[in-house]
Chain A
Amino acid sequence: MTGLDDIRAPGAVTRGGLVLPHYPIPKDVHPSLDSPEYRSTALRHPTQPLQLMPQRLTEVTGPLLGEERVGELDHDLTRQHDGEPQGQRIIVHGRVLEEDGRPVPNTLVEVWQANAAGRYRHTGDNWPAPLDPNFTGVGRCMTDADGHYRFVTVKPGIYPWRNHDNAWRPSHIHFSLFGRAFTQRLITQMYFPDDPLFFQDPMWNSVRDENARQRMLCHYDHSATEAEWALGFRFDIVLRGPQASVFEEEDDDDE
Chain B
Amino acid sequence: MSDQNAAVGAGGRLGVTPSQTVGPFLHIGLPWPDGPYVVPEGTAGAVWITGTVYDGAGQPVPDAVVETWQADPDGRFDHPDDPRGAAKPSIPGFRGFARCDTDADGRYRVLTVKPGPLPCPDGGTEAPHLDVTVLARGLLDRVVTRIYFPDEDAANAADPVMSAVPPDRRGTLVAEPDGDGGLRFDIRLQGDGETIFFEV
- A residues within 8 Å of B by Cβ? 8-13, 16-21, 25-26, 29-33, 35, 38, 40-48, 50-65, 69, 94-95, 97-101, 110-112, 120-122, 124-125, 136-138, 174, 176, 180-183, 185-189, 203, 206-207, 211-219, 221, 223, 234-241
Contact (Cβ within 8 A) A203 B25: no
Report the Cα distance A45→B190, complex, angstroms. 6
Q: Are A46 and B131 also in contact (CB < 8 A) when A40-B137, A215-B7 are? A: no
Picked from A25, A40, A56, A214, the residue with its CB within 8 Å of the CB of B5 is A214
Question: Could you write out 19 A-B pairs with CB less than 8 Å apart?
Answer: A46-B190, A47-B191, A48-B196, A50-B198, A52-B164, A52-B199, A53-B161, A54-B122, A56-B120, A56-B126, A65-B97, A99-B13, A122-B24, A122-B27, A124-B63, A137-B28, A176-B22, A211-B7, A214-B5
B55 at the interface (CB under 8 A from A): yes
Q: Are A33 and B141 also in contact (CB < 8 A) when A44-B136, A56-B118, A187-B19 are? A: yes
The residues of B that contact A120 with a CB separation of less than 8 Å are 25, 28
Q: Are A11 and B83 also in contact (CB < 8 A) when A206-B140, A238-B16 are? A: yes
Contact (Cβ within 8 A) B21 A203: yes
Report the Cα distance A180→B86, complex, angstroms. 13
The residues of B that contact A176 with a CB separation of less than 8 Å are 22, 29-30
The residues of B that contact A100 with a CB separation of less than 8 Å are 13-14
The residues of A that contact B69 with a CB separation of less than 8 Å are 58, 61-63, 182
CB distance from B79 to the nearest CB of A (A): 4
Contact (Cβ within 8 A) A174 B16: no
Contact (Cβ within 8 A) B28 A203: no
Contact (Cβ within 8 A) B18 A19: no
Q: Are A187 and B22 also in contact (CB < 8 A) when A33-B139, A53-B199 are? A: yes
CB distance from B7 to the nearest CB of A (A): 6
Q: How many inter-chain residue pairs (CB < 8 Å) link A and B?
A: 284
The residues of B that contact A46 with a CB separation of less than 8 Å are 143, 189-190, 194-195, 197
1/0 contact string of B16-59 vs chain A (CB within 8 Å): 11111111111111101000000000000000000000011101
Contact (Cβ within 8 A) B81 A52: no
Decide if the interface of chain A is mainly helix, strand, loop or mixed.
loop
Give chain B interface residues in 143-174, CB to chain A under 8 Å: 143-144, 160-161, 164-165, 169
Contact (Cβ within 8 A) B194 A60: no
1/0 contact string of B91-106 vs chain A (CB within 8 Å): 0000111000000000
The residues of A that contact B66 with a CB separation of less than 8 Å are none
Contact (Cβ within 8 A) A43 B80: no
Q: Are A31 and B140 also in contact (CB < 8 A) when A59-B200, A64-B79, A236-B6 are? A: yes
Report the Cα distance A45→B143, complex, angstroms. 9
Decide if the interface of chain B is mainly helix, strand, loop or mixed.
loop
Contact (Cβ within 8 A) A57 B80: no
**Which 6 pairs, one residue from A and one from B, show the smallest C-beta to C-beta distance?**
A112-B29, A40-B138, A63-B97, A44-B138, A31-B140, A43-B56
Report the Cα distance A155→B23, complex, angstroms. 18
User: Which of under 10, 10 to 19, 20 to 34, or 35 or more describes the interface residues of B?
Assistant: 35 or more
Contact (Cβ within 8 A) A63 B80: no
CB distance from B104 to the nearest CB of A (A): 10
Report the Cα distance A27→B96, complex, angstroms. 30
Q: Are A20 and B81 also in contact (CB < 8 A) when A187-B135, A235-B5, A237-B17 are? A: yes
- B residues within 8 Å of A by Cβ? 1, 3-7, 9, 13-30, 32, 55-57, 59, 61, 63, 67, 69-71, 77-86, 95-97, 118-123, 126, 129, 131, 133, 135-144, 160-161, 164-165, 169, 189-191, 194-200
The residues of A that contact B22 with a CB separation of less than 8 Å are 174, 176, 187
The residues of A that contact B9 with a CB separation of less than 8 Å are 211
The residues of A that contact B120 with a CB separation of less than 8 Å are 17-18, 56
Picked from B14, B25, B82, B140, the residue with its CB within 8 Å of the CB of A33 is B140
Picked from A41, A65, A94, A125, the residue with its CB within 8 Å of the CB of B138 is A41
Report the Cα distance A201→B140, complex, angstroms. 13
